[in-house]
Amino acid sequence: MHPVHVLLAEVADAKSLRKAAEVVRARAEEWGLRAQLPRGAGAAMDRTLVLSACEGETAVKVMRALSELSGVEATSHGREPLFWVNNPEATEESFTLGDAHFGKGNTSIVAGPCSVESFDQLLPFAQQLREAGATALRAGAYKPRTSPYHFPGLGEAGLEILAEVHRQTGLAIVTELLRPEDTERVALVAQMIQIGSRNMANTALLREAGQTGRPILLKRGMAATISEFLQAAEALADAGASHILLCERGLRHFDGETRNLLDLGSVPLLKTRTHLPVVVDPSHGLGRADLIAPMMAAAVAAGADGLLVEVHPQPSASVSDAAQALSLSEFAQAVHPLAPILKAVGRRLVTASSGISTPTAFSDDSSTHPRR
């Protein structure tokens, strides 16, 4: 027999959380089940309750009844809790991806153009990015666009270019998956698969991506709560994702001065809620190249385990997101102050020459992983 796990809804204060937990416990006792109340205090209080073991129809009835309570967000029944992602007491996740190292005090930069445009452009530029401080290459072969008339990416031709750039430079490739039917093609090329903001809640796509076993870079939805963000990560973990990077990329807001509202407060908040590495995308978070450098500095000061930055060899000529792309020189200047900032907060900037590099595209630096 296995226990029932209950995730309480996110509330504003510990008192309300404790009250919801008591309601769940009282209801569970109607079936003769004991409930282990959340641990911790204040903002650090765990939202997970564990009920004593049951099986069959009893488990089904308990889960159905508890899921209808206003203070309950989700329930699960099994050997492992469904809420693996939402577990701040787990050992901090850390892993390497080629030259990049995320977590446990290490911060890495993933940089590159918004879209793959041509092989002749991307190959030399990828090496220049590496020399300037990038440890992995980001570029889209498939591009989700607001307008159907904007450049949608080169598709399979773009993937072929990325594969060859990886072969010649050794840089790990981070590229976006848009459709379930493209999963196998993307997974063959990408050392890390990106799930964009528009698809954070696309559960079918999350499951396909998770089943590849590849590390996943999951971007926060443009109007998603922290709880919704973590549930999307949970879906990836449940499907089998080997490792997950949570990416803050800004929220939709009302002021047209910037593309989005970059929520840097989410970085330390997520670190109280989960053991997963957290990275920040200031390019999409602001949409303005002149604001990227100071927000890169602010993000690493806030504890970001990585940065995702758009850089283009000729920003004004970029086929997509030109306004937010840095030039190579601007990127190098933005990287320069990061190392001392990170040192001041007890962290380090990882570069291709800093010594954390592996001969393979991916290696696991965590002691255990619950989905293996």
Percentage of the chain surpassing pLDDT 70?
88
137 beta partners: 111, 173
Element (H, E) at 29: helix 14-29
Average pLDDT over residues 188-199: 97
| All residues at 6 or more sequence positions from 69 whose CB lies less than 8 Å from its CB, including other chains | 20, 23, 24, 27
Q: Which two tokens stand for residue 1?
A: 């027999």
Does the pLDDT value for residue 346 go beyond 60? Answer: yes
Weakest mean pLDDT among 39-48, 323-332, 360-369: 360-369
Mean per-residue pLDDT over the chain, rounded: 87
User: E-assigned strands of 190-322?
Assistant: 192-195, 216-219, 244-248, 278-280, 306-310
Rounded to the nearest 5 degrees, what angle is found at the Cα of 293, between the Cα atoms of 288 and 299?
105
Weakest mean pLDDT among 51-55, 241-245, 260-264, 312-316: 51-55
User: What integer pLDDT is reported at residue 368 of this predicted model?
Assistant: 36
Largest CA distance in the chain: 69
2-77 placed in CATH 3.30.70.260: yes
pLDDT 10s digits, 68-104: 888 888 887 764 454 577 666 667 888 899 999 999 9
Does the pLDDT value for residue 141 go beyond 50? Answer: yes
Does the pLDDT value for residue 372 go beyond 50? Answer: no
Most confident of 15-29, 53-67, 222-236, 357-371: 222-236
User: What integer pLDDT is reported at residue 240 of this predicted model?
Assistant: 85
DSSP string, 185-200: HHHHH-SEEEE-GGGT
Residue 212 Cα to chain centre, angstroms: 16
User: What integer pLDDT is reported at residue 183 of this predicted model?
Assistant: 97
Q: Does this model's pTM top 0.85? A: no
CATH 3.30.70.260 domain extents, the chain: 2-77
Report how far residue 149's alpha carbon sits from residue 221's, in angstroms, rounded to the nearest whole number.
23
Paired sense of beta strands 363-364 and 48-54, if any:
unpaired
Weakest mean pLDDT among 49-63, 117-131, 174-188, 222-236: 49-63
Does the pLDDT value for residue 269 go beyond 90? Answer: yes
| Burial class (CB within 10 angstroms; exposed 0-12, middle 13-18, buried 19+) of 207 | middle
User: What integer pLDDT is reported at residue 89 of this predicted model?
Assistant: 61
Q: Which two tokens stand for residue 319?
A: 């086929």
Weakest mean pLDDT among 202-206, 221-225, 226-230, 344-348: 226-230
Element (H, E) at 130: helix 119-132
Angle formed by the axes of helices 226-239 and 266-273, to 10°?
Answer: 50
User: What integer pLDDT is reported at residue 46 of this predicted model?
Assistant: 66
* Residue bearing the bigger pLDDT, 39 or 352: 352
What would the CATH number be for the domain defined by 95-364? 3.20.20.70
Does the pLDDT value for residue 128 go beyond 90? Answer: yes
CATH 3.20.20.70 domain extents, the chain: 95-364
Paired sense of beta strands 172-176 and 192-195, if any:
parallel
